[in-house]
Amino acid sequence: MKLQRGKAVTVDIYNQLTEETTLHWHGLEVPGEVDGGPQGIIPPGGKRSVTLNVDQPAATCWFHPHQHGKTGRQVAMGLAGLVVIEDDEILKLMLPKQWGIDDVPVIVQDKKFSATGRLIINWM
């Protein structure tokens, strides 16, 4: 997800899981009511809309669930992603700017697989 400083964005979050979840905006400067902590439960089949007023310097943040007792498993199954915030200052720097060509964001995770290639969730 790519955001611009000074611009608000409304994100509709649809829970298509068979269990409750939340969505926490890790690193974003947002008010508690949209932060997606354990109190912001989205039931199975439910929807939550949050408006993010982006007013912070350029940063690479991420979103992930914060469902009590289920965070690690939901992240391991893929419920996480990047939130890249750009501002005028970062765009002035001599950094790669061709998204997906010379500017390729990467998330590194540690996962364990069985001999048959199945993801092992509770390996810690």
> Structural domain tally of the chain?
1
d(CA 4, CA 93): 16
Which residues are 47's β-sheet partners?
Answer: 14
Domain of 10? 2-120
Instruction: Enter the pTM of the model.
Output: 0.83
- Could you read off the pLDDT of 71-121 as tens digits, one per residue? 888 988 889 999 999 999 988 888 887 878 888 888 888 888 899 998 887
* Maximum distance among all Cα pairs of the chain, rounded to whole angstroms: 49
